[in-house]
Structure 1
Amino acid sequence: MAQASIDYEAVYRALPGMVALLTPDLVFADVNEAYVRGTGRPRASLLGRHVFDVFPESVNVREAKNSHHLRASLLRVLATGERDAMALQRYDVETPEHSGQWQEHYWSPVNSPVLAPDGRVRLIVHRIEEVTEFVRARGLGGDTAGRLLEAELYTRARELQELNNRLREAHAREREVALVLQKAMLPARRQMGHHRAAVRYRPAVGALNVCGDWYDLVDLVGGHRIGVSVGDVVGHGLEAAGVMGQLRSALSAASRVADGPAQALDVLGRYAHVVDGAESATAVTTFIDFDRHVVTYSSAGHPPPVLLHQDGRVEFLDRATDPPLDARPDPRPRPQASTAFVPGATLVLYTDGLIERRHEDIDTGLRRLADALCRHRTLDPEPLADTVLRELLPPGGATDDTALVVVRP
C-alpha cells in the first residue's frame, strides 16, 4: 500500500508554535495560524509588509532593543546560512481592538534559513515560542522578568559553550591521532619502473574527525601488472581509520592472488561482513596490464575511475558497478570490465570528496573533473594531481576527506 503524500502546507498551518516565513528582504511571505493568534494581527495585514514596519520598537519598555536584536539575528542568518537562536525578548503588543492599549508578551525566537540549490538563503523561518505564561507563573513581572530570564539563558549558554569547547579539544586530539594512524597505514607515493604515480590525501577542513578514505598500489603476480584501488569507510575518527586499515590490507592481499579485480572485491566483501564499522563501505579496484595495455576494473558502490586518453578523450570506467561491500547479505560474484589504452594515457582514481558538493548533482562534479583532466592532460602525474586538487576543491577546503591517485601507464 503506497504511503499517502503529506500536505506540508496544512502541517505548517497547524503548527502550535508561532511561525513566519520571511524573504531575504525581511518581508512577510507567510504566517501560520498560531502566529496570527499570538500577535493579534490578521494574516492579510502581515503578508507583503516589512517585519519592522509591523512590529516597531516597544514603546512601554525604555531599555527594550527588540528590533535591534531581531535585525542582528536575521542578518546573521542571511550572512552565514546557519540557524540563530535569540535571547528572551519582551514585546508589548498593541491590542488590535483597543488602540493605545498594550499587552506584555515574552517571546523566545529562533531564526533558521531555507537554502536554495546554490546555497543562498531563500527564506528565513522565524519561529517564536510564547513564554509569557511561564514568566507569570514564576511570579516575575515587568522588566525584572526579562532581565532575570535573559541572565538565566546567558548563564546556560555560557555553560554549554564551555562544554562544547572541552568536547572540541577532545575531538581535536582524537583527530590528530587518527591522522597520524591513517598516514602510517597509507602507502607512500612510488615510482613503478618507468611508469609514474602520484597519490594525495586531503582531510576535510573544519571537521572534528578524520574520515576513512584510503588508496592502495600493489604489484601483481604474473607479468608486468599493478593493482590500484581507492575506498571510503563510513564514519569518522579512530574507528573509521582502523576499519580503513583493515579493508585496505585485506584488498591488497586479495589482489595479489585474485584472477581479477572482481574476485578481489568478492573476497573483500566477504571480509567486510565480519568487520564492525565496514557497513556501506565502498571501493573500486583496477588491474593495469602494461604488456597488453589493458585496464580491468570493478567497483563496489564507488565513483568511477577516469581513463584520460592521450588524444584528450575522457572515459569513465562505469561498466562494472555494483552495490557497496557489505550491501548484500549473501555475496555474489561482482561484475568486471576491461578497456584498452595506449602508452601516455592517464588513469585517475579518487574518493567522493573530490567531486561531491552540497546541493549539487554528482554529474556536475564528474564533468568538472573531466574538464580539468582534459585541459591539463600534458602534465606529469605529480603536477596534475596538485592542479586537480587546486581546481576542484573549494578555496576554503572540502567538507569531506579526499583521496586521489594519478597513474601514467
Structure 2
Amino acid sequence: MHDIREIRDNPEGFDAALARRGHEPVARQLLALDARKRAAATAAQEAQSERNAASKQIGQAMGQGDTEKAETLKAAVAKLKDNMPALEDAEREASAAFDTLMARLPNIPAEETPDGESEDDNVYIREWGTKPDFDFDPKEHADIGPALGMDFETAAKIAGARFTFLRGGISRLHRALGQFMLDINTSEHGYTECNPPLLVRDEAAIGTGQLPKFSEDLFQTTDGRWLISTSEMSLGNSFREQIFAESDFPMRRTALTPCFRSEAGSAGRDTRGFIRQHQFEKVELISAALPQDSEAELQRITACAESILQKLGLHYRVMQLCAGDLGATMMKTYDLEVWLPGQSAYREISSCSNGGTYQPRRMNARYRPEGEKKTEFFHLLNGSSLAVGRTLVAIMEQYQQADGSVRIPDALHPYMGGITRLEPAL
C-alpha cells in the first residue's frame, strides 16, 4: 500500500517509479478517485452537521413556542435524513474504488534496485564455493530420485501432477533439512521459532499482498479461507493492527511450514521432478525493522540464508533482482541461486527482500518513535531459509555419486540417525 499524501505531492515521481516495473501511469487516476472520495466524505459530513444543527434548533424553537419554525426545521431534517443513505453510499463507493485500485498496485523499487525488464537483467553480486567436479556425467535429481525413494508415480495417483511421495531415507533427509534450518535460525541467528496457522482470512492475504491481484496462485477452502503459499502470510500478519515501541525492534520470527501454490502461471515449467510443486515445505524468516535499520537488516537476513547453504557445502551465487523482476510487494531483493549440475544451471533457492512500509500499511502495523505521540509505519522484510525441497534437490545433484548414491552433508549427520549416504534400491 502507498501513502496517498506522497502521491499528491509528487504524482510524476510515483508514475516514474512504477514505470521502472513496467507499470502504466496511474497517479492521475488515483488522484481523481482520491478527490472523489474526499468530496463524498465531505458532503456526507456536512449533511450530518446540518442535520445535527437543525435538530438542535428544533428544540430551541419548541422551547420558544415557535411551532411554525419547528415544523419547517423538522421538514429540513427529514429531507436531510432521506438524503443521507445516498450520500453514505456515494462515500462507500468512492472509497471502495480508490481502495481497490490502490490495493492492486505493486511496491515501488528502491533507488538502488537496478533497472531492467526481466531476470536476464538481474545483477551478479557474488558467489560462494566452487562447482563440484565429477568424473562422470552428473544426472538430474528426477533421474536418480526414484531409486532413492522419490516417488512421482504414486503421488500422481493420489493427488495428480506436481506432487511427490517420499519414502525411506530421502524422506528422513527432507525432515532433517527443515529441522537443521530451524535450529540454525534460532540458535545462531536469534530468530524466534513460531508455529503459525496454515489457513488465513482475506484480510491476512491482503495484508501481505497475495490478494487481490494474485488470487489465482492460491488455493481456497470451502469456508473461504486461503491455504498459505508461504508462511510470510502468517508470520507477517502476526504484526497486524498493533502499535509497537521503538525499543521492540528488531523483531525476528521463523517458521517451518507446508506451503501450497496453484502454480497457475507456470504451465509447462519444471514439470519434471521436485522443483515446482503444489505442496512443499519452506523455512521462512521475517524481520520487522525500523526504517533507518532496514537496509542493514536486509544484508543480515541474506547472510542468515546464505549460512545454511554454506554449512551444507552447496555452491551458490547471489543475484540482485532488477526492477522488472521484483516481487510485487518488494522494493529490493537478493536471490540465492544454487548450482544444479544435473541441469547445468543455477536455480533460485531463496529470495531475501525488503518491502519497506508496503505491507505494514496494508496491515495497519505501526510503531511509536521514542518521545513522540504520532505513530509511523516500520519496515517488514522476509527471506527463505530455505526452500526445503529445492535444498534436497541441490544436495542430490551436488553430492551424487557414480553408483547413484547420494552422500549426506556432514552438518546433517546428527539429524540422520547414523545414515551418511542414500543408497539406491537394488
TM-score, length basis structure 2? 0.22
